[in-house]
A and B are shown apart, each in its own frame.
Chain A
Amino acid sequence: MNGVSYVELWRALLPEGCLTLGALLVLAIDLAAPASRPAAARRGAATALALMALAASAWATVRAGTDGAAFGGVFALDRLTLVTRLGVIGLALLTVALAGNLSRLANAAEYLALILFATAGFTLMAASNQLLLAFLALELASLSLYVLAGFDKTRPESAEAGLKYFLFGGVSAAFMLFGFSLLYGLTGSIAFPEIARQLAAQPPSALLVVALVMVLVAFGFKAAAAPFHLWAPDVYEGAPVGSAALIASASKLAGVAFFARLLWAGIGAPVAATWLPVLAILAAASLVLGNVAALAQSNVRRLLAYSAISHAGALLLGVMVAGRSPGSVVYYAVTYGLATVGAFGVIAALEAAGPSQRIEDLAGLHRRSPFLAGCLAIYILSLAGIPPLAGFLGKFAVFADALRAGGLTGPTGWLAFLAIAMGAVGLYYYLLILKQAFVAAPKNGAAKIFIPPAARLALGVAAVAIIVFGVAPGLILGAF
């Protein structure tokens, strides 16, 4: 790589630099603080530092601009990068503010530092335009998330969730590395544009199919698509609530943006016939399995996990039609992330007030905290896709692209119809949650719920953002 500019590298990497520096500062200050200081003060300082690092990273992201490739084509600084980076940073901000019951976790500073490292991985995933950087970014994010999932040392469920997530993730990382190595062998390059050029020039081979299937297995794992979803319910249930929120929201958004770039810019439309069918099968399986299995759940977190699997189906459909513009699928992922973070925030507030894993524990939420119940209604209705909330417009944008891409009777058109039909099934279990929250009477002795101010602000911001993006989708869609 001759003539690469380190000024360019600095500009492209500044968002990750802010996050990494912030994480190290959070750790260092917590280490240097005298042990006599109360835990609450140390936690507050660490949280403030983490929020500042995220804000600085957002500023650096905007400053990096959208003028194409940087540092010899290793980074892609385009609109997809910009919107995805800002999206994951925003979701991480909400997660940090909402992870209110950090008080239950020892070592809050380490927890926040890991969230920052994971976010650096996400933003790097969004920007990477080369196999090596992509692999490193994905592993940085994944390794941080494994630890976050198993962070609560006092609960056996958390350790078990972390181990399961790690074992599934490790296998998928190995699949991905093997697939990447075959892509490198087929094309002699690890840069996305060069890979696409080489693959378009050669006839489709069996080796290419093997490589793509391996990469898609890894994608299926990352997006929690059936049949690679087995980790999701266990992790959503067992992990600390902040970790589960991050895994469910920012990690999804970064994964979708990264694989949309890898599949369309890196592998390319000329050989799309080899990978679109695989993606279509994964999407259809996720839509059906996620929605049907969610009907049987009695645990709120597991229900959200199966809802996530069904949304993964729609996201895969969005990736299938992202060739012309990834706008609709990114919009879907951002709005889905907002609603999920919010829902986990409500769960965090409930769990701080007492044990609550079952749907019945939501009973009478409108009496115990009208604010919480109102926010929950917005999140759940957005997940179900009720207009005018953002979840509806996300679905609308993805399905419109799907119909435009293949017509009414094309494979993507059929998938859109399947998704709409399954959305009707999904409405049932989403309304079950709301029925408990609004219709059922509170249990005897259920007290009012106290929500910390930061969490209250974050919940409100998430709810308002869902409404604003729903009323004015051009804020995100117009950026592409």
Chain B
Amino acid sequence: MNLSPLHLCLLFSSALFCVGLIGALSRGNSILVLLGVELMLNAGNINLIAFWRFGPAPAEGTGVLFVLFAIAIAAAEAAVGLALVIAVHRHQRNIRLQEANHLRG
């Protein structure tokens, strides 16, 4: 099997996305779920970089610019997420999602 660099990058990013998704779905600690989400976002970033680097028009720089914005968004998202984790921690003294169950029905 002869894999081009683009294929290898896509395989890597797909694996990263799956690892992140499994982490986000299976972890009970909200910070670890947040880590999983960040892995998934980074998988998308790797895709964009790979498609830009091995794509037909690397001179345009579209993929790289997209990634720069996406990284900024991911940082903002982490900030908001951690703030919400702290808000939950203030009330229940831990950050386990299993115990965040005031709302149900």
Contacts and interface: CB of A to CB of B under 8 A. Distances in A.
Contacts of A184: 47-48, 51, 62-63, 66
A237 B103 contact: yes
Contacts of B80: 143, 146-147, 166
B102 A238 contact: yes
Contacts of B37: 167, 170-171, 173-174
Given A136-B73, A162-B84, A174 B47 contact: no
Contacts of A143: 76-77, 80
B77 to A, nearest CB: 6
Interface stretch (A26-34, A95-103, A151-159): A151-159
Given A146-B80, A173-B77, A185 B51 contact: yes
Contacts of B56: 188
A174 B63 CA distance: 16
B78 to A, nearest CB: 9
Interface stretch (A297-305, A332-340, A385-393, A415-423): A297-305
Contacts of B21: 171, 174
Interface stretch (A175-183, A318-326, A343-351, A375-383): A175-183
A156 B92 contact: yes
B81 A177 contact: no
Residue from A139, A159, A190, A234 whose CB has the most chain B CB atoms within 10 Å: A159
A188 B84 contact: no
A299 B103 CA distance: 11
A184 B60 CA distance: 13
Given A146-B84, A167-B33, A188 B55 contact: yes
Contact of A163 (B40, B62, B77, B100): B100
A177 B87 contact: no
Interface in A98-141: 131-132, 135-136, 139
A170 B76 CA distance: 11
Contacts, number: 137
A167 B30 contact: yes
A112 to B, nearest CB: 18
A150 interface: yes
B69 interface: yes
A164 interface: yes
A131 B65 CA distance: 12
A330 interface: no
A161 interface: yes
The binding surface of chain A is classed by DSSP as helix
Interface residues of A, number: 43
Contact of A132 (B69, B88, B104): B69
Nearest to B20: A174
Contact of B105 (A160, A162, A181, A233): A233
B90 A159 contact: yes
B30 A181 contact: no
Given A171-B40, A174-B37, A188-B55, A159 B105 contact: no
Nearest to A297: B105
A233 B88 contact: no
Interface string B27-50: 000100110010011011101101
A189 interface: yes
B70 A135 contact: yes
Given A170-B77, A174-B41, A184-B63, A135 B103 contact: no
Contacts of B33: 167
A163 B30 contact: yes
B57 interface: yes
A233 B103 CA distance: 8
A363 B47 CA distance: 56
A128 to B, nearest CB: 13
Nearest 3 interchain pairs by C-beta = A174-B40, A177-B44, A181-B47
16 contacts: A135-B69, A139-B77, A143-B76, A143-B80, A147-B80, A156-B88, A157-B102, A160-B100, A163-B87, A170-B34, A171-B37, A174-B37, A174-B44, A177-B40, A188-B51, A188-B55
